[in-house]
Structure 1
Amino acid sequence: MTEAEQETWMARNQRLLVAQLDRLHAVISGQAPAQDAVVPQQTRLAQVVSVFGLSGFERDLLLWCTGAELDERFTPPTFAAALSVLGGGHWDAMATSAPLRRWRLVEPGAGAGLISRPLRIDERILHHLVGVVCLDSRLDGVVRALPDIPGRLTPAQQVIAVDLASRLGSRPEKVVASIHGAGEQTRNRIASHAAAALDLTPLHIPADRIPPLGAENALLALLVEREAALLGALPVITAEPETAPRPVAAFVSELGCSVVLSGLPQLRADLTCAVPSPSIGEQRQLWEQLLGPAGELDGITAAFRLEVEQIEAIALDRPSDLHDACRRSSRGGIADLAQLIEPAAGWEEVVLPEFATEMLRDITAQVRHRTQVYESWGMAGSSGRGLGVTALFTGESGTGKTLAAEVLAGALDLDLYRIDLASVVSKYIGETEKNLKRVFDAADASGAVLLFDEADAIFGKRSEVRDSHDRYANLEVSYLLQRMETYRGLAILTTNLKNSLDRAFLRRLRFVVPFPFPDAQARARIWRLMFPPKTPTANLDWDRLARMQLSGGNIRTIALGAAFLAAAAGEPVGMGHVLTAARREYVKLEKPLTDAELGGGYA
């Protein structure tokens, strides 16, 4: 309806409302008989009468309350006065279960005795009758109308919206529909498309705004149902994964109208719709619609799984670095669940045997070309299992496992998130799986590299199942491996104790990369890497330093300590500074620094 049409309609509605007030005043003043009247259709009064099932007496009593607010000829009525003046009076009109009070259309004022108390019209109903479009003020901050023009959807999502509208519209009774999957905005768009197809207004209700069980919960349900009746609306309840379901379930049970649950698959529903995120082909098509053809789209669609609204927002900004913009947009909630590590290391810093380095390069190649192999070449088959790139890094602390993960993330231009499995594992049955699910769900859009540290905390030797805790411990491991196998990015486990892992679990990992303790040649190379060209040094003897039986992590700690000692002394880093820092590190390690490791002339 255009603004001109709206003004014309409002003027006609108000004119006809005034005519009804004139008719009622004539009845009350005795100038006309108390007989039933015909209310013109396409007026707000006729709509209220229809949707709430008012009798002629209830209609005129509501109209009398309206006149008391708008017309000086009227005073607030009492139920006794209405019974004596209006036609068709019936005693149950003021029952709490009757429409006038059930729907809070009128409220009795103060006073003794129900029939002698003045009646007032509800403010929201008064606004509605005169043609003002608004929501009940008691719903401020709880309910809002979604956009009248639904946003863009992919073809697959559009099919779901059409099906949802068809199934909602085909049933006259209350229908509880549940949509899950994709992102919140996408689900809202689907609900908006379905509502538009039914000529309804979608009302958005965040689940965390629904009060606990009790009177407030029931009142909110009543007000929302009333708004749905007045506006011709479809309530849409949107929830977060951690939303408590009981208040929402109570609210939905109180509602007498159809409702859409978004992101609450655990609640019972009459129909359920799983919403897919855009496929790689759909993402590329959308990018091309918004930005035109671009050569980097292959890499972007392979690396990131973005929702339609994210792609629209990025395209609107026209970023100079599209890949970086996609990476930042896809981070979502993963940053709250894991530690973001900014990759700073390159391949030249990886000090490993050649076969281990080649395995790392193979991992990079498989992540980079997975879309081509799985989709273009059809190697994925019909199952989604076993398609994730999974790796286990084994070796002592300080041998470079985290550094290697940094190198892989940097080479792939992806975020790296570290998850401490020891903090994820819970003593409560089922909680570990929930924690892992949150991590993988949050990371899925970004395609980030996930580094699960301390795999021993969850793996260990698979024990004989003697009680429920043994059984659930094995289920936790199986769940982690299952999610790793279906994760679209790279998932890495690290362990210091490979021998403690069950071989049945090892077989499900695509790569097992050993990180051996560095030999003397490797240690000499690590020492050189620890001092950048900008660091002033004096006569550092790499071969002598390499005699110390240390891992790369310990060598880095010593190098930093030596640098601070030299800076404090105002000198370049020399062998004395390094050996002083080394003695301190050996004390921390509770190891003796032998003469053979010190080398001649430095004892």
Structure 2
Amino acid sequence: MTTVIGPVIERMDDWVEANHRYLTAALDVVRRRLAGEETEGAVCRRDALRSAMLSPPALDGIADAFGLSGFERDVLLLCAGVELDAAVARACAAAHGDPGRPCATFSLTMAALPDSHWSATTPAAPLRRWHLVELDHPEVPTASPLRIDERLLHALTGISYLDPRIEVLAETLPPAPLLTRPLRAAADRLTSCWASPTARRARISGRQPADLRALVSAASSGLGLQPVRLRAADLPATAGERDLLVRLCERETVLSSRSWLVDVEDQGPEAGRSTLDFAVRVQAPVAVVGLPPAADPGRRLTAIDVSPSDAQERRTAWRAALGVTAPSLESWVDRLVGQFDVGPTGVDAATEEVRDVLDRADAGPRLWDACRRQARPALDDLAQRIEPRATWADLVLPAGQSQLLREIALHVRHRLTVFEDWGFAARSARGTGVAALFSGPSGTGKTFAAEVLAADLALDLYRVDLSQVVSKYIGETEKNLRRIFDAAEAGGVVLLFDEADALFGKRSEVKDSHDRYANIEVSYLLQRMETYRGLAVLTTNLKSALDSAFLRRLRFIVQFPFPDAAGRADIWRRVFPAELPTEGLDAARLARLTVAGGTIRNIALSAAFLAAEAGEPVRMSHVLLAARTEYAKLERPLTDAEVAGWTT
């Protein structure tokens, strides 16, 4: 099917004027035929105007593209004339013998126009199949008034736009940035797919949806097509409505050289089915993004997998985006490449966000923060973002645990150097992610330690409650986890999976199908943690509840002990801000309270509020009142030995 309609050589203004003159002459011919007048002179004028045009008029292009016969072409022209020329409308009314019927009908056109044929009236014929004309009363097709579709009416006059019925569902894709080698290779494969007369539908998979859209844009540009994005969730649910959308999209491909991208966006199996149905039926260049392979078991779509870009390719993308400022930011380029898995689209977005300050001394940190922000829109709906403010100085742990945490930080910081630049990635069978387990009683600082790591690494921290992620429905837990990891990749965030006990446990012994699927879920989480480019941390209150086979797959295991008296005293000394007025606080006495650091922070905060209400500095008496409240919450008695002498 021809997909180019309109001027090729002439200036647009000249073509539009010539097209208008030709259309007027063609309407005069069909009016004369309808009225039974002589047409020889009108036909000569029409043909002379056609010969003078360097590019075909819109009517010829539409007739050729949709395979219209001479009769069908005249029917379309007559319907257009009713809207464009009052003389044509009057001729129709006269032919009907009824001034109140200034319209075309199939009955009228078959009687008045040459080379008429009954097949032109059928729904399978081009006029109705492509919705070029519409019947007001389809139940009486020959007697029903015929109307030209408005999109076609304007197309005949040389005006091009996206059909409003598609536009409400669609988004035009922007031009593609400079693509990395894997994206360029995938774009070339898509171009070949679309250029093939038999395989014009593709399923594209890869890590970054924005980059997949960019490669579709690049492939479209190479073929002179305008890419349009449709969301799978917006595709019509009923077969009839979906059939209309298929025809309209096919028609737009012909009228305005469009290609189509359908974004599944993890919408679930129903959206996958409607997307596949749409994609296999539309006779136009189409690419589907986000459709799992299992959703296309018959492989009716050409599969195009985009491999991840290596470090050098990502460096090239950053240097291209930074332009003349790249040399001065080279050290930051290495840091950005090492931490953030952003492709050309993300690189361009981050650079554009800070372009006005690229020549300033703080350009590097600003680029870093711009990359951090890229993951937030998707992750904020999936997990809780914690603003990391704690520092190493705030952390109270034994020396061994503190050293382990600092090792975790340096593994994250130098991951690119060790794995990619120094070649360890080629020797790693499981992946290059940093996966850690923090175990210990509640309140011993597991979340606080993750906050310290995120602050030290200048990364966002997102808390994922695994008890909310785990689903009783088979496959849903993996889907939830996939959404979280996919969204986190670009921003290089620290992922904190709280309450790992909800998913883990001694489940290696399979007794029923639930145990088997539980093991699949655990294995999926560990596999994603191992390949995740950032830091992923699991927390549990009971390490003994976790299976040893799972523990072996974690790079770090940090045990957070319940603090001893010296540790509790140290926490009490640090827990009150320097700005807080205090009087008579005794850290040694406070340390008699046998509670963990989290509870100590709660007591200190409550004591501060009590002192503020009394208009006094924080004293031991305020801490005592706060401790009683906190102990009651813990359903524990506050013993005399813990608070002896506090009331004075």
Task: Please give the TM-score of this superposition, normalised by the length of structure 1.
Answer: 0.93
Any idea what the Cα deviations from partners look like across 1:540-586, whole Å, max 9, x if unmatched? Answer: 22222222222111222222222222222222222222223223333
C-alpha distance in 2, partners of 1:19/1:382? 75
- Describe how 1:113-262 pairs up with structure 2 within 5 A: 113-147=140-174, 149-169=175-195, 171-173=196-198, 175-242=200-267, 244-262=271-289
Match 2:57 to one of 27, 30, 43: 43
Give how far 1:225 is off: 1.2
Give the conservation status (yes or no) of the 8 Å contact 2:469–2:481: yes
Does residue 372 in structure 1 map to residue 378 in structure 2?
A: no
C-alpha distance in 1, partners of 2:504/2:140? 73
SS state at 2:11 partner: helix
1:543 corresponds to: 588
Does residue 473 in structure 1 map to residue 480 in structure 2?
A: no
Give the conservation status (yes or no) of the 8 Å contact 2:177–2:348: no
SS state at 1:452 partner: strand
Give how far 1:277 is off: 5.3
Moved more, 582-591 or 124-133: 582-591
- Describe how 1:448-467 pairs up with structure 2 within 5 A: 448-462=493-507, 464-467=509-512
- Describe how 1:488-527 pairs up with structure 2 within 5 A: 488-527=533-572
Give the conservation status (yes or no) of the 8 Å contact 2:469–2:477: yes
Does residue 65 in structure 1 map to residue 92 in structure 2?
A: no
Match 1:6 to one of 5, 12, 25: 12
Moved more, 135-144 or 549-558: 135-144
C-alpha distance in 1, partners of 2:492/2:172? 34
C-alpha distance in 1, partners of 2:502/2:560? 19
- Describe how 1:276-287 pairs up with structure 2 within 5 A: 276=307, 278-287=309-318
Give how far 1:26 is off: 4.2
C-alpha distance in 2, partners of 1:218/1:594? 75
SS state at 2:86 partner: coil
1:322 corresponds to: 367
Moved more, 287-296 or 518-527: 287-296
Any idea what the Cα deviations from partners look like across 1:336-383, whole Å, max 9, x if unmatched? Answer: 111111111111121111111111111111111111000111011165
2:66 corresponds to: 52
Give how far 1:109 is off: 4.3
Match of 2:192, as an amino acid?
Answer: S
C-alpha distance in 2, partners of 1:156/1:114? 53
- The root-mean-square deviation of aligned C-alpha atoms, in Å, is 2.6
Moved more, 413-422 or 188-197: 188-197
Match 1:274 to one of 305, 326, 332: 305
Give the conservation status (yes or no) of the 8 Å contact 2:227–2:260: yes
Moved more, 525-534 or 280-289: 280-289
C-alpha distance in 1, partners of 2:29/2:485? 67
The answer for unaligned runs of 5 or more in structure 2 is 1-6, 93-102
SS state at 1:450 partner: strand
- Describe how 1:308-387 pairs up with structure 2 within 5 A: 308-316=344-352, 317-318=354-355, 319=357, 320=362, 321-381=366-426, 383=428, 385-387=430-432
1:306 corresponds to: 342
C-alpha distance in 1, partners of 2:640/2:172? 78
C-alpha distance in 1, partners of 2:108/2:214? 50
Between the two proteins, what is the percent identity of the paired residues?
49
C-alpha distance in 1, partners of 2:38/2:229? 48
Any idea what the Cα deviations from partners look like across 1:121-161, whole Å, max 9, x if unmatched? Answer: 222111111211122233331235444x5443223312221
C-alpha distance in 1, partners of 2:342/2:162? 34
SS state at 1:418 partner: strand
Match 2:135 to one of 85, 94, 108: 108
Match 1:22 to one of 20, 28, 35: 28
Give how far 1:400 is off: 1.0
Match of 1:502, as an amino acid?
Answer: D
The answer for unaligned runs of 5 or more in structure 1 is none
Does residue 589 in structure 1 map to residue 634 in structure 2?
A: yes
Change (3 A) 1:249 1:3: same
SS state at 1:417 partner: strand
Match of 1:448, as an amino acid?
Answer: V
C-alpha distance in 1, partners of 2:160/2:384? 48
2:470 corresponds to: 425
C-alpha distance in 2, partners of 1:144/1:389? 38
Change (3 A) 1:302 1:86: same
Moved more, 559-568 or 472-481: 559-568
Change (3 A) 1:565 1:137: closer
Task: Please give the TM-score of this superposition, normalised by the length of structure 2.
Answer: 0.87
Q: How many residue pairs are counted as aligned between the two chains?
A: 601
Give how far 1:513 is off: 0.9
Does residue 297 in structure 1 map to residue 333 in structure 2?
A: yes
C-alpha distance in 2, partners of 1:475/1:224? 41
C-alpha distance in 2, partners of 1:529/1:429? 47
Moved more, 421-430 or 65-74: 65-74
C-alpha distance in 1, partners of 2:457/2:253? 50
Give the conservation status (yes or no) of the 8 Å contact 2:204–2:304: yes
Give the conservation status (yes or no) of the 8 Å contact 1:213–1:250: no
Give how far 1:111 is off: 10
2:95 corresponds to: none
Give the conservation status (yes or no) of the 8 Å contact 1:415–1:449: yes
Change (3 A) 1:537 1:70: closer
